[in-house]
């Protein structure tokens, strides 16, 4: 666990003037707080969003929080591999390097099974495969960053209960809303660790870490199972869920600290996992997080990587 002084110093550093950062899902919640944290340190932000109106609102809020922020909005739909490739091409048009990539955007537990435009179960396709493909396309820009680009992939405490269902990755035979979510978050963690391993062995100029926000109160709960309930019941479910997160968890502003630590702290190490240090990692100051046994299996990580390459048609 980090001492108060150490984290206080880390929270104000480093100066990111001249650095370029891309954060997915920055229109709200954790992504917005990550963007603010990077902007206040001087980074030039590239913020890809799916919904233009929400993007404009997020940009206004970001400018209000940090008037000097350098921000450019892009279009990205992580449910479409074509959109992912097009977004990466636009990034390459705007910059010749990418110092920071935060793979944050996510979908949590829709009550009914849904598919991406490419036919993947929407959580596995968005949370994992979309970011797998985005990182692949941005790799040349990441490697062009002095010292190597940093890739921080956001996992979740849900990864601890997850498993990779190689016999039914797309949950076509028996859909479980939270089972699919847990799988996608474990996949995020496996990807981050395997990317670090491969980068180290192959000499790629990339640093890969993972982080989770504990129990953070964000808008993602509104898009979960409660969204499919009748309006009155759904509202009750969302209110109760948010109340539990506030009491037993923490705000998005605090939840983002492990993400920023993994991305920016000089003591953060490639392949490691960071999260809150309080009870059951639900809240508290950032530090090393527990890596579930399923994420420690090299064979699982390698198999998931191979399957992800095949599904996306992208060979690293």
Point out the residues that are catalytic. Answer: 181
Q: What distances in angstroms separate CA 134 from CA 96, 105, 125, 198, one per listed residue?
A: 16, 12, 12, 17
Reduced to 3 states, what is the DSSP secondary structure of residue 101?
A: strand
Instruction: Quickly count helices (H) and strands (E) in the chain.
Output: 11, 10
- Please check whether residue 23 is in contact with residue 104, taking contact to mean a CB–CB distance below 8 angstroms: yes
Please provide residue 48's backbone torsions phi and psi, each rounded to the nearest 5 degrees. Answer: -80, 130
Please provide residue 229's backbone torsions phi and psi, each rounded to the nearest 5 degrees. Answer: -80, 160
What is the Cα–Cα distance from 36 to 262, expressed in whole angstroms?
A: 16
What is the Cα–Cα distance from 115 to 272, expressed in whole angstroms?
A: 31
What is the Cα–Cα distance from 139 to 204, expressed in whole angstroms?
A: 9
Per DSSP, 43 falls in state: P
What is the Cα–Cα distance from 316 to 310, expressed in whole angstroms?
A: 11
- Reading phi first (left if > 0) and then psi (alpha if -120 to 50, else beta), residue 315 is in beta
Please provide residue 173's backbone torsions phi and psi, each rounded to the nearest 5 degrees. Answer: -85, -40
**What residues form DSSP beta bridges with 58?**
none
């Amino acid at each position: 666990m980090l001492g108060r002084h150490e984290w206080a110093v880390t929270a104000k550093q480093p100066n990111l003037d001249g650095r370029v950062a891309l954060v997915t899902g920055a229109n709200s919640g954790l992504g917005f707080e990550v963007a603010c944290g990077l902007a206040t340190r001087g980074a030039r932000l590239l913020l890809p969003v799916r919904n233009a109106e929400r993007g404009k609102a997020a940009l206004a809020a970001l400018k209000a929080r940090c008037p000097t922020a350098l921000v450019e909005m892009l279009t990205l739909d992580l449910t479409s591999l074509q959109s992912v490739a097009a977004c990466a091409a636009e990034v390459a048009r705007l910059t010749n390097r990418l110092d920071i990539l935060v793979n944050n955007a996510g979908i949590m537990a829709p009550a009914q099974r849904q598919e991406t435009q490419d036919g993947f179960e929407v959580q596995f396709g968005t949370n994992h495969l979309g970011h797998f493909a985005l990182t692949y396309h941005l790799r040349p820009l990441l490697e062009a960053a002095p010292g190597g680009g940093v890739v921080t992939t956001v996992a979740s405490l849900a990864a601890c209960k997850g498993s990779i269902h190689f016999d039914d990755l797309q949950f076509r035979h028996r859909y479980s809303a939270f089972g699919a979510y847990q799988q996608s978050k474990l996949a995020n963690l496996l990807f981050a660790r395997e990317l670090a391993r491969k980068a180290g062995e192959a000499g790629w100029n990339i640093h890969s870490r993972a982080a989770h926000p504990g129990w953070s109160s964000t808008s993602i709960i509104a898009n979960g199972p409660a969204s499919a309930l009748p309006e009155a019941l759904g509202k009750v479910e969302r209110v109760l869920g948010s109340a539990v997160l506030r009491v037993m968890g923490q705000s998005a502003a605090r939840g983002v600290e492990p993400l920023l630590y993994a991305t920016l702290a000089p003591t953060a190490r490639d392949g490691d996992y960071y999260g809150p240090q309080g009870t059951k990692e639900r809240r508290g100051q950032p530090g090393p997080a527990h890596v579930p046994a399923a994420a420690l299996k090299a064979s699982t990580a390698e198999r998931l990587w191979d399957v992800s390459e095949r599904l996306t048609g992208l060979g690293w």
